[in-house]
Amino acid sequence: MVGRAPIARLLLVGGVAASAVAGCGGKIDDEQCRELTNHLVDLLSKEGPAPENAEKVKASVKNDPRAKLVRQETCAGKITRAQYECMKKAKSVSDFAACDR
């Protein structure tokens, strides 16, 4: 069972990163936001204490209504294509968050 702490951390980091990169230009859709969420979970897992839990966290986030709300409010239609490409290539949470520049 995945605890609430990883989900809350993901939503907080994802929401902050996504809202920080809200911009103009060709925007991404909800499916691409899901891809970014999964990539962020992978990055958080690599940097966290239990990388083996990445798939469990992804499943929990996928089924958590808060994750959908965060995607709708801060990601879909708000992140540009360039920011999306930058985030997909990110090798760390810091790199991911830096894509707002």
Note the pLDDT tens digit of each residue in 5-32.
Answer: 555 555 555 554 544 444 445 788 888 9
Tell me the whole-structure pTM to 2 decimals: 0.66
**Mean pLDDT of the region 28-56:** 82
Radius of gyration of the chain, Cα coordinates, nearest whole angstrom: 12
Task: Pull the structure tokens for residue 81.
Answer: 């294509």
For range 28-51, the mean pLDDT: 83
- For CA atoms 17, 61, 45, 76, the dihedral sign is negative
Average pLDDT over residues 20-48: 76
Mean pLDDT over residues 72-78, rounded?
A: 84
Q: Is 27 in a helix, a strand, or coil?
A: strand
Q: Report domain extents, the chain.
A: 25-98
Which structure tokens are listed for 12? 């907080």
Higher-scoring residue by pLDDT: 91, 30: 91
Rounded to whole angstroms, what are the CA distances from 74 to 35, 43, 50, 55? 14, 19, 27, 23
